Amino acid sequence: MSEERSLNFIEEIIEEDIKNGKHGGRVHTRFPPEPNGYLHIGHAKSICLNFGLAQKYNGQTNLRFDDTNPEKEETEYVDSIKEDVKWLGFEWQNELYASDYFEQLYGFAVKLINKGKAYVDESTPDEIAGQKGTPTEAGTPSPWRDRPVEENLRLFAEMREGKYQDGEKVLRAKIDLASPNMHLRDPIMYRIRHAEHHRTGDAWCIYPMYDFAHGQSDSIEGITHSVCTLEFIPHRALYDWFIEELEIFPSKQYEFARLNMTYTLMSKRRLLQLVNEGFVNGWDDPRMPTISALRRRGYTAASIRDFCDRIGVAKRENVIDVSLLEFCIREDLNKTAWRRMAVLDPVKLVITNYPEGQEEVFHGENNPEAEDGEGSREIPFSRELWIEREDFMENPSKKYFRLGPGLMVRLKHAYIIKCDGFIKDEQGNVTEVHCSYIPESKSGDDVSGIKVKGTIHWVSVPHAVTAEIRLYDRLFRIEDPGADGLDFREYINPESLQIIPEAYMEPDMVNAEFGKGFQFIRKGYFTLDKESEPGKLVINRTVTLRDNWAKEARKG
Ligand code: ATP
Ligand code: MG
């Protein structure tokens, strides 16, 4: 985090609280995912904020699974969430589960019944909805609203014992049917669900609603600053009401604007649809905005933290351009990625004056951005090389500084060559480019006196290592695939995945390690995919070297 940055509004609140000695100056935050899907880049914003605040103010952060919806939650999701938070570089104080508080929450509900502040309602869901009224008209009381306390206690106990079917009864808070805040019009606290829970099994058949679980969990854990996204603003009054009525630790809720990003769906429910309907190959398909997908694609944790730092924390909704995320990974990989040469669309180049069977080895720094270069690797050179098809033109224009009849270029790390001719097949495709090399022009030891404008990359044919390369692009072709009234399925970018079955790479790539970024010079940033095996390398493009979408936009 940059030291210069001014405080965000939550930091201002915390500093004020510390100054006033609130909670003894203690700062305790939590990150509360529901384990019903994989975390996405929006969650990363919340993680960086919650853990970042605790780090900054010597506090602590809990990882709390908000697991009160048994049908949708799974252990697979719990495990992936833990892995993602750790990978982002954060350590939680306690690993906790709202389900651990089921007994305590039940006790809280009994306390409210005893205070005459909660009742068992037998109205149907439709009837309850009808009783809510409208924002301008008060609601109407349920016929069960004024049940005696003893009857409520007995029925609530029977709900827990499993005497009733799903939906037959609910427990509601008795608050204010005329409140302008609809959330205070006798909200439901508990519902009946005869469902297997991923942790508590069949111990419970009643489950607390979000509003009756979240604030109380915060309070049980002594959370001082409970930050969540803006859509929870109308829930805040209820959050406070339960805590006040229960007379428990006064946690407070603060709301910030969620991350929205162009070309990106940002909701677990919709991401699950993409997975289930086969638009992508799983939650960690590198086109997904999940943290696991970004990791697989080659994003670094540092680049994601940097992104979250740059977008900041504000109280007003906005949409971040996905190119900012791409900028952050380029910034990081430019400094850290090792440079390698790879030819994605090959055509053969023959150096006619280089003796057949002769070889030599050049050396290339791994990372020219690092002071010590981070060592170097050996790059074998021979008479036959692969070059990119686009680096040769039969009829080059004046501004084309690569190969064409009579033109000269430098082969990166090697010699200057001059194009003397080429061969075409019957379809008119160039199959071989013929060149001669200038022996005096060896890179680092060039006494030829020749100046050329272009440098191209290459791979020696007999030494090349092959790989499948997967070129990823944005999954959607419109900026707001999640807009109301649109079916995002109709806006999938058909070119979001392009597979090159056999690309050629310099031989050192057999030593590539998982989790490390490479720059294939002139081509972009790449990383090994998890499906890669010795002898069958699979490589993902993390991001192009430049923002091609910006160029498209300028073209209009
Ligand atoms: P989704 O709508 O994608 O399912 P969610 O809010 O239901 O997200 P939770 O698991 O409940 O997902 O979220 C855990 C935490 O992450 C919450 O505090 C939530 O506010 C925060 N969060 C979720 N989405 C975003 C986002 N796009 N930007 C910032 N924070 C987010
Ligand atoms: Mg949620």
The amino acid present at 145, given as its one-letter code, is R
Q: What is the mean pLDDT of residues 306-330?
A: 96
Determine the average pLDDT of the residues in 37-56. Answer: 98
Residues 109 and 191 in one domain: yes
Total of domains in the chain: 3
Q: By CB neighbour count within 10 A (0-12 exposed, 13-18 middle, 19+ buried), where does 212 fall?
A: buried
Mean pLDDT for 530-537 is 95
Q: The domain containing residue 163 runs over which residues?
A: 9-256
* Average pLDDT over the chain, rounded to an integer: 96
> Residue 177's domain is classified under what CATH number?
3.40.50.620
Residues 293 and 367 in one domain: no
Q: How many CA within 13 A on the CB side of residue 113? A: 25
Q: Is 215 in the pocket of ligand 1 (CB under 6 A)?
A: no
Are 112 and 164 found together in one domain? yes
Asked if residue 150 and residue 86 are part of one domain, the reply reads yes
In a domain, 457, yes or no: no
pLDDT digits (tens, 9 = 90+) for 185-236: 999 999 999 999 999 999 999 999 999 999 999 999 999 999 999 999 999 9
Give me the phi and psi of 138, to 5 degrees please: -65, 155
- Helix (H), strand (E) at residue 74: none
Catalytic (active-site) positions: 34, 258, 268
**41 CB under 6 A from ligand 1?**
no
231, 256, 281: which is the final residue of a domain?
256
Question: Can you give the pLDDT at residue 551?
Answer: 60
- Ligand 1 mean position, distance from CA 229 (Å): 7
Q: Which residue has the tokens 């969650």?
A: 43
Tokens encoding 422: 């080429």
Give the mean model confidence (pLDDT) for residues 92-116. 97
Mean pLDDT computed over 262-268: 96
454 found inside a domain = no
What confidence category does residue 556 fall into, taking pLDDT thresholds of 50, 70 and 90?
very low
Does any ligand 1 atom lie closer than 6 A to the CB of residue 268?
yes
List the residue whose alpha carbon is closest to atom 23 of ligand 1. 43
26 CA from centroid of ligand 2 (Å): 27
Q: Are residues 204 and 100 in the same domain?
A: yes
Same domain, 169 and 78: yes
The yes-or-no verdict on residue 553 having pLDDT over 90 is no
**CATH code (residue 391):** 2.40.240.10
Q: What contacts 358, CB < 8 A, 6 or more positions away?
A: 382, 383
Same structural domain, 252 and 276: no
Is residue 494 domain-shared with residue 361, that is, in the same domain? Answer: no
Please check the confidence at residue 357 and state whether its pLDDT lies above 80.
Answer: yes
**pLDDT for position 548:** 78
Q: What is the enclosing helix (H) or strand (E) of 61? A: strand 60-65
What pLDDT band is residue 73 in, cutting at 50, 70 and 90?
confident
326 and 390 share one domain: no
246 pLDDT band (50/70/90 cuts)? very high
